[in-house]
Structure formats: C-alpha cells, structure tokens
Amino acid sequence: MPRLNRPTKVGFTLIELLVVIAIIAILIGLLLPAVQKIREAANRMKCSNQLKQIGLAAHNYNDTNNTLPPSMKINVNSNGKQPGQNILVVLLPYLEQDNLYSKASTVGYDWSWDTPVPGTPSGSLRTQTIKAYQCPSDPSMQNGFSAYQVGGWAGSSYAANTFVIGNVGMQEPTSGNWHTNSGYTVGTIPDGTSNTILFAEKMAACGTGNAHGNLWTWPGGNIHWNGNDWGPTLFNPPNGTLPWPITQGGGNWNQPPLTSVGAYNTAACDWTRPTTGHTVCNCLLADGSVRGVSRAVSQPTWQNAFIPNDGNVLGSDW
C-alpha cells in the first residue's frame, strides 16, 4: 500500500518574522528623516512664496499711493472714528482680501482689531485667520491662531521692519496719540531695495505670556515696534515735528534671527527677535526677493540689512 505524503506547512518561523519586522523598522527609520526634510523644504518654500506675495502687495500699495505701506494708518471715516490699521490690515486689498477689508473698514470702530465684520463667523476682524500670514513651519501657530490666543486673536508668522515702514510720525487729531507711516517709496530707500529687509519671519507666539504674541491685527504685534520687538526705539517728538525721530537702542533690536526653533515656550525662543522653525530665517527684501538668513550672520551685517539709510555695505556673510 503506497505511503501518503502529508502536505508540509508553509509559513514563517518566529525568528524570520522578527527579522522582517526589524528590517521594516530600519527602513522606516531611514526614510522618516528624508520625508521630514522633504516636508520641511516644501513648508519653507510655501513660507517664502507667501513673503513674496506680501512683497508684491507692498509694491502694489506703493504704486497706488506713492509710498510704502505704513506701520499704522489713521483714517477718519464718516462716523468721526479713526480706525488704526496696521500694515497687515492695510495690505488686505492687495492680497485678494478686498471683501474682508471692505466689511471691516466701513464700520466706525476706533481700532481695527475690534472692528466688527458683518457676515463672518466670529463677527470681528481680529479673529479672522489669513492664510497668507501663516507659515506652516511655525510651531506656535494653531489653526491660524497664536498659541496664547487660540480662538481669540489670529496670529501672523511675519513681521515688518519699523525702520522702513514707521519712520514718519502722525498724530491723531482727537486723542493726540502718535502713530507711524513710511516716509519711503520703493525708489527712495537710501541704501537700495536689495540691501534692505522689509519683512522677516517671526513666530506667532514666543517665550511665556500673551504679551509676546505676534497678532496680525494688533498695532505693534506684527511690527518690529521697539526695543522689545526687534526694532528701533521711538520717542514722541514735539507736537508737529516730522519726521518722527528714530533712535537705536534697547533690547535685542539688532540681534541676528533665531532659527530652528521647535517650540514657542522654550528658552531657545526669544520673542524679542525674528524667530522661525526653519534652519534659516526667510527675509523679504524691499526689492521683492526673499533671502534665507542664517543665525550665524554677524551682528553688524544683520543690523545694516534692516537699517535703510546707514550707508553701510553689507558684509561678506550676507
């Protein structure tokens, strides 16, 4: 009687299975950094393109108004109110946000951040999130809001250079408060547009405390405003004195940017300086180009790049 061959079982041994799992884990470990680098490169490109759009908007504003956009613009409307519109608010019509700007500018509120906007979910301008002002590499940004102001104040990942957009004073006729405009056009920047920073990346939140937020509708929140916000110190001049004098001093206004910042609340995040999650800080020059600046740039070169009228040549490390 012939012997029947029993079918052999086909399968992996435990050791073989563990080896396969180990190989897969190694491959994932090798691929993950590459994927993260590709994602970050894409994010950096998007942030750079958004800065270019802001630069194009600033140039279009310049062509329309024969001046660069102001750090704070005072308008007196038919209700006798004087809405303070900072540079990011002023640029809305030039960033395909005409409808939002029109809704906000027709309401007689004193300040743009409290201005009601009919038909919007929150009902106020300050809570509107603007994609053009959000860098996807900003770790302090949560769905368009600063980490300290989630749901209350929309944030920005970019800030403007006071030396360029805030060098001329203007006084409100009723309150007497001083605000600042730009005394330059694209063609009159003394050091040239290719040697002058107009905007730089600055995370929506940094350090500890809600006063350190970079809020797109706040008057000083998205501007390199004073010694604590990477900008010049501005002193009130005598009434009627123009242009508003700017002095250099205070804080870290001339310190190079902080790069590769992975969290908004760590000691490595200094809210007084431009900050970014990239390995370099994207900076928009006044000619509309964007340059990645390393944190290793020397202090004199960095300082000369955002002072538009010092007459100094940028260093070889630029």
Tell me the H-state helices in the chain.
14-65, 87-90, 98-105, 162-165, 299-306
Domain range spanning residue 244? 20-306
Q: Tell me, yes or no, whether 285 lies in a domain.
A: yes
Confidence of residue 131 (pLDDT cuts 50, 70, 90): very high
Q: Is the pLDDT of residue 318 over 80?
A: yes
Condensed to tens digits (0 to 9), the pLDDT of residues 255-273 reads 889 899 988 877 778 777 8
The verdict on residue 113 lying in a domain is yes
φ, ψ for residue 178, nearest 5 deg: -95, 135
Q: Is residue 189 part of a domain?
A: yes
User: Is residue 230 a part of any domain in this protein?
Assistant: yes
Q: Which one has a higher pLDDT value, 313 or 41?
A: 313
Report yes or no on whether pTM surpasses 0.85: no
Nearest to 128 by CA among 136, 139, 116: 116
Neighbours of 168 (CB within 10 A): 18
Establish if 314 belongs to a structural domain.
no
Residue 311 domain flag: no
The pLDDT value recorded for residue 29 is 79
Share of the chain above pLDDT 90, in %: 31
**Least confident among 24-33, 144-153, 163-172, 237-246:** 237-246
Q: What is the DSSP string of 139-171?
A: TTEETTEETTSTTTSBB-SEEEEHHHHS-EEEE
Of the candidates 194, 185, 127, 129, which has an alpha carbon nearest to the alpha carbon of residue 157? Answer: 129
Q: So what's the pLDDT on residue 237?
A: 42
248 vs 149, higher pLDDT: 149
Closest CA to 51 of 10, 78, 91: 91
Stretch among 48-57, 147-156, 291-300 having the lowest mean pLDDT? 147-156
| Count: domains in the chain | 1
Task: Answer yes or no: is 3 within a domain.
Answer: no
- DSSP codes, 108-130: --SBGGG-B-TTSSSSBGGG---
Tell me how long the chain is.
318
> Quick check: is 318 in a domain?
no
